[in-house]
Amino acid sequence: MAAPKSVAVFFAVLNLISLLPFIAFSFSPDQPTDRKILVLLDDLSLKSSHSIFFNTLQSRGFDLDFKLADDPSIAVKRYGQYLYDGLVLFSPSADRFGGSLNIEGVLDFVDSGHDLILAGDSNASDLIRNIAAECGVEFDEDTSAMVIDHAGYAVSETEGDHTLIASDEFIQSDVILGSKKLEAPVLFKGIGHSLNPENSLVLKVLSASSSAYSANPTSKLSNPPSLTGTSISLVSVVQARNNARIMISGSLGLFSNRLFRSGVQKIGSLNKYEKSGNEQFVTELSKWIFHERGHLKAVHLKHNKIGETEEPSIYRINDDLEFSVEIFEWSGTSWVPYVANDVQVQFYMMSPYVLKTLSTNQKGLYHTSFKVPDVYGVFQFKIEYQRLGYTTLSLSKQ
């Protein structure tokens, strides 16, 4: 009697989480890169003082729409459709946005899969702080505090207060920062922030050195600073679960022409660079943020009994089955096969019954075969591939 019966009704869930890349929900899936970006400024003069950054974006094909943060005509959404694919907030002091945009609007924008670059600064407004806090980043509570590093400041003409720091504590990820190694330290002048430990999605991209602390440079230090050392993050990114990407920087100047061009010499270091790492850092990071890199997609998910091609609705226990999927990466202009040897598939019912590494043919096709376990149940095929910087892909198939 109990003839082995059907076991596996399946759903295949494919989760590719990647570290870096771009996400694609609001764009056509074939073209994950953002196209239209709204830039909100405190002051239109920023347009010229940060022109290098904006020009690189424009030269990569982005359509930038500049507005003052309090411009009453701001609207990111019309008739339920988002007008922009990305948002750049270079308005650290804005207390409120003009038009219909508010904090919920910005968060909804992100939650519907769009990207955000947020630049804070010392004296950042509550609005900016709240947006950052919602993304898992806490700016130093002291509004006038800045990151100070007496052992890691950049040598400059004036002695100053060591608030212009040069940091080379980058995240180790080719996907986020590009494959070209950043030689020069990045110049940073602004407020530090810490990551909320409850948030598992936020990453430090640029952190301060162990000798840094966050305090008001003009007043005497009366209490120990609340933020010290490497726990201070200067630039952080978040890849949300829907693959929206967020970059939060504690310094607006990071993007400015002045710091792009200035040379840098870190105190105590003999190396003097003609040009700071800022331009390369910001450009590569913006490529990741706007999904020009690190975006994966999985297609042609297939499973069937060995020797058949049809996908059955049900497997019987001890059937032999084949499973294959194709994974591609967005190169900025086209989809290229993604090659890795660590993609695994799970045959999953509450816990994985089968966990197999997929073999690849170097052309993006991943493949494996296994025997259905001797257990009845509703199983899912599940690929959870989470690599720093790559997007999450989630497919389900029944």
Contact positions toward other proteins, by CB under 8 A? 1-3, 5-7, 9, 11, 107, 110-111, 134-136, 198-201, 238, 240-242, 244, 246, 314, 349-350, 376-380, 398
- CB-nearer residue toward other proteins: 163 or 380: 380
User: Minimal CA–CA distance to 10: which of 334, 258, 379?
Assistant: 379
Compute CA 234 distance to the chain's CA centroid, rounded to the nearest angstrom: 15
Rounded distance between C-alpha atoms, residue 187 and residue 296, angstroms: 32
Q: What letter does residue 229 receive in the DSSP assignment?
A: G
No. of helices (H) and no. of strands (E), the chain: 7, 29
- In whole angstroms, how close is the CB of 370 to other proteins at the nearest point? 19
Please give the Cα distance from 79 to 390 (Å, whole number): 31
CB closer to other proteins out of 135 and 254: 135
Parallel, antiparallel, or unpaired for β 193-195 and 137-139?
antiparallel
CB of residue 320 to other proteins, shortest distance in Å: 19
CA distances from 222 to 80, 118, 161, 216 (A): 51, 31, 17, 10
Closer by beta carbon to other proteins, 365 or else 378: 378
Paired tokens of 12: 């295949």
203/37 Cα distance (integer angstroms): 23
Closest CA relative to residue 282, chosen from 253, 316, 325, 312: 253
Nearest approach in angstroms of CB 163 to other proteins is 29
Comparing CB distances to other proteins, the nearer of 65 and 108 is 108
Give min distance, CB of 262 to other proteins, in A. 34
Minimum CB distance to other proteins, residue 204 (Å)? 16
Measuring CA to CA, which residue among 345, 307, 313 is closest to residue 327? Answer: 345
Residue 353 vs 385, nearer CB to other proteins? 353
Nearer to other proteins, 6 or 231 (CB): 6
Distance of alpha carbon 256 from alpha carbon 246, whole angstroms:
19
Q: How far apart are the C-alpha atoms of 46 and 327, rounded to whole Å?
A: 41
Residue 339 or 378 having the CB closest to other proteins: 378
Q: In the complex with other proteins, which residue's Cβ is closer, 170 or 347?
A: 347
Residue 6 Cβ, how far from other proteins at the closest point, in Å? 4
The minimum distance between CB 198 and other proteins, in angstroms, equals 7
Cβ atoms of 235 and 208 closer than 8 Å: no
Task: Tell which residue, 237, 259, 250, 257, has the closest CA to residue 166.
Answer: 259
Q: Which two tokens stand for residue 276?
A: 């700071």
Rg, the chain, Cα only: 24
Q: How far is the CB of 347 from other proteins (least distance, A)?
A: 12
Give whichever of 213 and 390 is closer to other proteins, judged by the CB atom.
Answer: 390
Tokens describing residue 171: 């995240």
Alpha helices in the chain (DSSP H): 45-49, 51-59, 103-111, 126-134, 174-177, 257-261, 278-289
Task: Tell me which residue has tokens 């130093």.
Answer: 140
Residue 7: CB minimum distance to other proteins, A: 7
Q: In angstroms, what is the minimal distance from the CB of 25 to other proteins? A: 11
**Given the complex with other proteins, which of 3 and 270 has the nearer CB atom?**
3
Tell me which H or E stretch contains 315: strand 315-316
Smaller CB separation from other proteins, 114 or 266: 114
How near is the Cβ of 111 to other proteins at its closest, in Å?
5
Contacts of 105 (CB under 8 A, 6+ apart): 76, 77, 97
